[in-house]
Chains A and B, each alone.
Chain A
Amino acid sequence: GQQVMQIPQYQHVQEGEDFTTYCNSSTTLSNIQWYKQRPGGHPVFLIQLVKSGEVKKQKRLTFQFGEAKKNSSLHITATQTTDVGTYFCAGPLSSGGSYIPTFGRGTSLIVHP
């Protein structure tokens, strides 16, 4: 069935190193969203990408949407301990004439000071 896959599952980095998580969909997406969930918390919306090839930046975070609108990535430059958490991508996958928000399994970022 249709799915959204995300890699890696875990990523350990030293503070100051860069981090990237990748998201791939089995089908073309109309848009993709990224969320961050801190340990013990709930997902918090980061951004939504809509256009093919779109690149958006939020301070040290760079989000990209692939040309085919089937993949996306989140890159964090010079990680900080405040970046710790699990990053999820989510896209609307069609189901029975409607669209179901489908989340990737997430990438847990662990930053070592």
Chain B
Amino acid sequence: KAGVTQTPRYLIKTRGQQVTLSCSPISGHRSVSWYQQTPGQGLQFLFEYFSETQRNKGNFPGRFSGRQFSNSRSEMNVSTLELGDSALYLCASSLSPLSLAGRSFSNNEQFFGPGTRLTVL
């Protein structure tokens, strides 16, 4: 079974530009979550999509957005890039929606992709 794939793997942008990152989950997984990882803030949750609907969102500004397609593939977009947006962006897929993790004891193991390293100059 193929793992989670992310494209592109590396990206260099300048301040003010926008960027779109793509994530293809493991076949059969309908939940896709996005994370930002930086040395200063660690691994922070951006949002989760399940069945083409955003289920929950972390504490990030509206410049960060996403969507999910009917085949479960997901994209995230960052508009008006800032220097502080430089980070490793990881997506993760799972069988169960994480938004229900508090009530569900089902397996919501997350499978992470290799990430997209975004550098904003």
Which chain B positions have C-beta within 8 A of A99?
56, 98-103
Number of interface residues of A (CB under 8 A): 25
**Pairwise interchain contact A45-B55, C-beta atoms closer than 8 A:** no
Which chain A positions have C-beta within 8 A of B42?
103-106
Stretch at the interface among A17-25, A55-63, A76-84, A90-98: A90-98
Q: Which residues between 67 and 113 of chain A lie within 8 Å of chain B, taking CB atoms?
A: 88, 92, 94-96, 98-106
- Residue B33 at the chain A interface, CB threshold 8 Å: yes
**Pairwise interchain contact A94-B102, C-beta atoms closer than 8 A:** yes
The complex places the Cα of A98 from the Cα of B53 at a distance, in Å, of 14
> Which residue on chain A has the smallest CB distance to residue B112?
A42
The complex places the Cα of A70 from the Cα of B115 at a distance, in Å, of 30
Chain B: number of interface residues, binned into ranges: 20 to 34
The complex places the Cα of A94 from the Cα of B99 at a distance, in Å, of 9
Closest Cβ of chain B to A88, distance in Å, is 7
- Residue A31 at the chain B interface, CB threshold 8 Å: yes
**Pairwise interchain contact A101-B103, C-beta atoms closer than 8 A:** no
**Pairwise interchain contact A44-B112, C-beta atoms closer than 8 A:** yes
- Residue B113 at the chain A interface, CB threshold 8 Å: yes
Q: Which of B55, B56, B114 contacts A42 (CB 8 A)?
A: B114
> Which residue on chain B has the smallest CB distance to residue A106?
B42
- Residue B58 at the chain A interface, CB threshold 8 Å: yes
The complex places the Cα of A104 from the Cα of B115 at a distance, in Å, of 19
Closest Cβ of chain A to B54, distance in Å, is 11
- Residue A66 at the chain B interface, CB threshold 8 Å: no
Closest Cβ of chain A to B87, distance in Å, is 13
Residues of B within 8 A of A (CB): 33, 35, 42-45, 48, 55-56, 58, 90, 92, 98-103, 105, 107-115
Residues of A within 8 A of B (CB): 30-31, 33, 35, 41-45, 48, 50, 88, 92, 94-96, 98-106
CB<8 Å pairs between A and B, sample of 11: A30-B101, A31-B105, A35-B110, A35-B112, A42-B114, A98-B56, A99-B101, A99-B102, A100-B58, A101-B98, A103-B44
